[in-house]
Amino acid sequence: MIRGLLGRKLGMSTIFDQEGNAIPVTVLEVGPCAVVQVKTLERDGYSGVQLGFDEKRQKSANQALRGHFQKAQVPPKRFVLEIGLSQPEAELKPGQEIKLEQVFKVNDFVDVVGWTKGRGFQGVFKRWGFRGSDGAHGTHEYFRHGGSIGSNTTPGRVLKGKKMAGHYGNERVKMENLKIVEIKPEDNLMLIKGSVPGPKNRYIVVFHAVKKASPVSSPKPV
């Protein structure tokens, strides 16, 4: 069984349950994913499957990628990633298409991996939430500075991990134990309760939750 699928974040919305309670949901387009390559214990030393999502034009792929996808008889994909298999003996073949409803069901718990918005080079206020210096008692041009960095004779260097200005955002973040509220197989849409990192149309990966088991009554994926 495949542990997850590839997709993209479409945005957030609100739905209402039968009791009229508002539920904030994130709308994800998950699959269909094409099997590009299958990893086996005998040949590669581990079990896994390489999935492709979101088709792109032939001329946008270089010759090496064209040959790689042509070998699997799959059109070139924009987002390609390896996903682990919970059962090494799972029968998967290159060129096979895996849809959303084959892997996930309503009320399942999932972990979603995304990449946060990139914000470029930022100061310590926006990056770390520093409060800044006082605006009195002779303070000049130092209100938004990071303060002392401890580079005195001892230790004579700046310690690693010091909170300073630098690149902020565009980091891999995993949101755990999100519940699937609704699935629309005809549109490949998954509505999950909660938020997912990243802007709209950013690629994401959806896995079965590791720390929280799905309900026993939930049908198991094929």
Residue 203 and residue 191 share a domain: yes
| Domain limits for position 196 | 7-30+100-130+161-222
Say how far apart CA 73 and CA 54 lie, in whole Å.
15
Residue 186 and residue 92 share a domain: no
CB atoms within 10 A of CB 200: 10
Say how far apart CA 49 and CA 84 lie, in whole Å.
6
Q: Which has the closest alpha carbon to 102: 181, 10, 190?
A: 190
Tell me how many domains the chain contains.
2
Q: Is residue 84 part of a domain?
A: yes
The answer to whether residue 156 scores a pLDDT higher than 80 is yes
On whether the pTM is more than 0.85, the answer is: no
The tokens for 69 are 């996808």
Residue 208 and residue 180 share a domain: yes
- Domain C-terminal end among 77, 98, 119: 98
pLDDT tens-digit series, residues 158-179 = 889 999 999 999 999 999 999 9
Residue 126 and residue 73 share a domain: no
The answer to whether residue 96 scores a pLDDT higher than 80 is yes
Residue 11 and residue 68 share a domain: no
Residue 50 and residue 12 share a domain: no
Q: Which has the closest alpha carbon to 80: 21, 34, 138, 47?
A: 34
Q: Which has the closest alpha carbon to 32: 5, 4, 9?
A: 5
